[in-house]
Structure 1
Amino acid sequence: GYDSKGDAIVSNDSPKSSPSASTKRGKAVRIDPNKPKRNMSAYLHFQNAMRATFKNENPGMTFGQLAKYTSQKFKNLTDEERAIWEGKAAEDKRRYETQIRAYVAPKNKVVGGDSKVG
């Protein structure tokens, strides 16, 4: 059947007939240690710089609580403060793009790391 929006109604009562993608195992992916590290976002630069400070200010927080706190602090940054972190992210992106252009993947090896299995 269909609901009022015209979307098909799907029952979740029956178990899946095929194994989920998360249970499938493939060959281990070898990651080249010489491959340049991906660039970080403005938030990740902020998080890495402020983690120790926030941890000291809030010693009783769990990892998850600290992540939420950091996220909220980042969302509340002024445009000027955020521009600092955006600048660091842009600089890091330029670094990554320069390094990845110069990078030559080794031949006859399974190389990867960005693909997500599951």
Structure 2
Amino acid sequence: MGWDLATMPKVSAKAEKKTTKTTRVKKDKNKPKRALSAYMFFVQDWRERIKSENQDAAFADIGRLLGAKWKEMSPAERKPYDEKAHADKDRAAREKAEYNAANGKKTKKSAPKAVSEDDEEEESD
């Protein structure tokens, strides 16, 4: 006993597809940029050098070469990038605080720690 496609009811393409519309939250264009890491500052400095040395390399290959170069660098060689990252982190924190103050947003506070049963027993002793 086989299925005969001619006798089966036809389903329209519209009936098969279920589409739902979702609305995206619009991003605030005034929101400050996040701080860059030391590695990202390194990549900004070195990408063009690596590209010129390896002109036939693909984008992913350049990323691998940059990662390998970063790993072999000593802490002394990384220090300028670490300093840039630290300065950028301070800038981002300052801009975020100004942005939140201007928009009436409060900073999130961490939730109070839950007291476990073990802690309660120690306190009652």
TM-score if structure 2 supplies the norm length?
Answer: 0.62
Q: How many residues align?
A: 84
Q: Deviations over 1:3-23 (max 9, x none)?
A: xxxxxxxxxxxxxxxxxxxxx
Q: Deviations over 1:78-116 (max 9, x none)?
A: 111111111110000000000000004758xxxxxxxxx
For structure 1, list consecutive stretches of 5 or more residues without a partner in the other structure. 1-23, 108-118
For structure 2, list consecutive stretches of 5 or more residues without a partner in the other structure. 1-19, 105-125
Q: Distance in 1 between matches of 2:74 and 2:90?
A: 24
- Which of 13, 38, 50 aligns to 2:46? It is 50
Which residue in 2 is equivalent to 1:34? 30
Compute the displacement of 1:29 (Å). Answer: 2.6
The one of the two structures with greater contact order (alpha-carbon pairs below 8 A, sep at least 6) is 1
- Which protein is richer in helix relative to its size? 2
| Aligned-pair Cα RMSD in Å | 1.9
Compute the displacement of 1:52 (Å). Answer: 0.8
Q: Distance in 2 between matches of 1:25 and 1:64?
A: 35
Q: Distance in 2 between matches of 1:70 and 1:97?
A: 28
- Which of 39, 55, 61 aligns to 1:59? It is 55
Match of 1:49, SS state, is helix
After the TM superposition, which residues 73-92 of structure 1 pair with which residues of structure 2 at under 5 Å, given as runs?
A: 73-92=69-88
Q: Tell which structure's C-alpha radius of gyration is larger.
A: 2
% same residue? 32
